[in-house]
Amino acid sequence: MKLDLLTGLYVFMLAAFIGFEVIRRVSPLLHTPLMSLTNALDAIAVVGAIILAGEHKTNLAAILGTIAIIAATSNIVGGFIITVLVHTDMASPHLVRFGTKRQLEKYLPGVLTGEIITAVGVTEPGAGSDVAGIRTRAVRDGNDYVLNGTKMFITNGVYGDLYFLAARTDPEAKGSRAITMFIIEKGTPGFKVGRALDKTGWRSSDTAELIFEDCRIPAENVLGEPNRGFYSIMANFQTERLVIGAMAMAEAREALRLTFEHVSQRTAFGQPLWDKQAIRQRLSRRLAEVEAARQLVHHTAWLDAQGGDCVAQVSMVKALAGDLVNQVLYDCVQFHGGMGFVRETAVEPVAGTPDGDDVAGIGWVVLDLLAHPADVDRDGAAVAVTSP
């Protein structure tokens, strides 16, 4: 099935419905981890499936549909959006893109309905953006692999049902040629959640340490080609960074909306804060910056939908959006005064969000990716050069 304009319109309509449902169902839970996904979240899972449907490709309408969903739920923060996006755009794409027919038949129906919540396990205590440096080992033993190691900062780690895990399978090869992806089900002997992590922001997003001790995985649960997992991870990083950028700008816009409303009503020294030129100009400048960054997000989504190389543009999105949302939130909280740090204030859960946007694939790492190695095309645009 090929995605068309009708599919794109459906996604946009569903985004509006989801925005309403999420506000109604999830708002009271922003400061506690969500133990299960509501029907609204199940709907988002379906959207993620639509985006990945049809010859395992995407098109512009579908990509922008994801961005529309992010925008529709931008006033529900505190970790809600990232909980969903990990399932739809960061974890399950590994299954859709690289799964065998048997694996797809076994797991994909539950993933589409939201009955099976997915997580991806790459980051470790000593390796994050440095994927080639992971130390978790998987040793072949007959028809199985035996896994040993620890994963850290895994979103959906506690309440997930299905995990796509990266492990070293060739101790002799260099890091990028030594990693294999595995499918691991919750409850597999030797696999346990070490601890749930108590975070400063993204409070409603469940994040965990995962521990594997002589965890035996059938060889048929290898996801994709053995020793090619590094490249599948890199391929999906493009989507991950793009949707993180979209999420950051949606949060920034929502914070600005709340702050424009607040400074129009709050009075100081006999006049609304809005009458203060410095406040008006600062908020207006931030709004212009956010709108410019949103255009970069949409342009990069368009480039990605064409199937071309957009590593440089995706890196720009991730670095710019992660930094800008922190600047915007700082200003918005300041203009709320002391109430900006009180949980009953609408802007407070947003204030606990931005650092996560920047840390999730640390901004300076993608800046380095953009700058080195890099080339300049004949139109003067920076183009990242990747090694085979």
Cα–Cα dist 110/107, whole Å: 6
Marked catalytic residue, from 240, 251, 254, 348: 240
Cα–Cα dist 233/283, whole Å: 38
Backbone φ and ψ for 38, nearest 5 degrees, come out as -80, 180
- Whether 240 is catalytic is yes
Cis peptide before 373 (omega within 30 of 0): yes
Q: Are 201 and 355 a contacting pair, CB within 8 Å?
A: yes
Sign of CA dihedral 347, 349, 352, 358: negative
Cα–Cα dist 369/386, whole Å: 9
32: tokens are 């506690």
28: tokens are 């009271």
Cα–Cα dist 358/296, whole Å: 17
Q: For residue 261, give the nearest of 364, 332, 349, 344 by alpha carbon.
A: 332
Phi-psi region of 147 (alpha: psi -120 to 50; beta: other; left: phi over 0): beta
Name the residue type at position 200.
T
What does the DSSP assignment read for 7-46? HHHHHHHHHHHHHHHHHHHHGGGTTS--SS--HHHHHHHH
- Taking the CA atoms of the chain, what radius of gyration do you get in angstroms? 21
Catalytically annotated residues: 240
